[in-house]
Structure 1
């Protein structure tokens, strides 16, 4: 009798994990900071106003960098073991859902991209199944929506 194996070949399509997670950080947190800097440089509004660009730059930077550090601190040790990566995908996917109210910081996009990485949705990753795969997909969708929200918010601020 032969043993049943659950190993799946590594994913050959999609983005590499550093591009996905780094891209989520750049397209959400860094882009939002750049939009705030643009507000300072290209408008006559007071940059020190309540909830203005200077306070926004501070809060976006702090929350975004903390989210990136947490996501990498969780993902990097867990990615080597498929069983541990499943747990990490679920945890990071849940964090992406919980942090949705902080979309302006990029935190949901960062956590979502890391969940997609551990869920096996990136190039070279071990595909997961079950809840880990579901949270990876949810995280990927949240990462995309987080980036869209940052750019849509900036566009609405420019036009409105």
Structure 2
């Protein structure tokens, strides 16, 4: 094994840390803010788009995003050619699901696309379109995490 290959595989974060971290920092963090609003808020918890409705929708859509990411990613990661296709599919799904960014689903799907594209230390390195969708997925994941955290912090302060 060459020095370049050894350096490439020893750097970066692992796939479980990337995908799990995206889920925790988007879906679970948003759920925590909704639960805090439910416990400490003084408004009606059953109001339209209130904490109860938000907890249900975030849980369902965010959970489905995680299930899809794992259902696509885990079987495809073993074969680099199939991982390439999975990176494209999950990267595209991360873009298509952007309208439901509050659920964290685009962040998880984007992180899984980055994993299949080889942007983690345990993913097969991809090139071309698959790598592009992996990078796009990673950017989507970061932006969704920032939007969820910034939006919730802004609502607390304002």
Higher alpha-carbon deviation: 57-66 or 123-132: 123-132
1:86 is displaced (CA, Å) by 0.4
Matching residue of 2:85? 87
Question: Given the alignment of the two structures, is residue 122 of structure 1 paired with residue 120 of structure 2, yes or no?
Answer: yes
Checking the alignment, whether the CA contact within 8 Å between 1:47 and 1:54 is kept in structure 2 is yes
Matching residue of 1:5? none
Separation of aligned partners in 2, 1:64 and 1:112: 13
1:154 is displaced (CA, Å) by 0.3
1:51-84 alpha-carbon deviations (Å, 9 max, x no partner) = 0000000000000111100110000010011110
**Alignment length (residue pairs):** 153
Question: Given the alignment of the two structures, is residue 20 of structure 1 paired with residue 18 of structure 2, yes or no?
Answer: yes
Q: TM-score, normalised by structure 2?
A: 0.94
Matching residue of 1:156? 154
Which stretches in structure 1 are left out of the alignment for 5+ residues?
A: 1-7
Which stretches in structure 2 are left out of the alignment for 5+ residues?
A: none
1:18-65 alpha-carbon deviations (Å, 9 max, x no partner) = 010001111100100000011111221111110000000000000011
Higher alpha-carbon deviation: 120-129 or 108-117: 120-129
Aligned residue for 1:46, secondary structure, equals coil
Matching residue of 2:57? 59
Aligned residue for 1:128, secondary structure, equals coil
1:32-71 matches, within 5 Å, as: 32-71=30-69
Aligned residue for 1:11, secondary structure, equals helix
1:96-153 alpha-carbon deviations (Å, 9 max, x no partner) = 0000111000000000000000000001222100000000000001001111011011
Separation of aligned partners in 2, 1:118 and 1:155: 32
Checking the alignment, whether the CA contact within 8 Å between 1:11 and 1:126 is kept in structure 2 is no
